[in-house]
Amino acid sequence: MEMKPKTGRKHQLRRHMHHLSHPIIGDTTHGDGRHNRLFRDHYDARRLLLHASCLEFEHPITQEPVVIKASFDSVWRSLVHEFDWQECDAIQDYT
């Protein structure tokens, strides 16, 4: 699932997904222990599977736009391949 918050509070995405009964895998506070265990034991996913692929903001001094992009790590790439998920821009390596 892709989420594009414009602003946010601490744990906002995690709490909203929990409320919708779709907790984020690896979330030990707001998640589901059974799901977390499954992904840890069978897919070696031992952390919160929440990824910020792009952050954009205005520099507070220069007022210039700042864009920071990050690709998925090996755990994410493995899961995308394992589940045959549709590829997205964040899968690509940013240079």
Whole-prediction pTM: 0.74
CA–CA separation, 72 vs 91, rounded Å? 6
CA–CA separation, 89 vs 94, rounded Å? 9
Spatial contact of 45 and 74, defined as CB atoms under 8 Å apart = no
Per-residue pLDDT band at 3 (split at 50, 70, 90): confident
Query: Residue 67: which of 51, 78, 52 has the closest Cα?
Result: 52
10-44 pLDDT, tens digit per residue, is 788 999 999 999 999 999 999 999 999 999 999 99
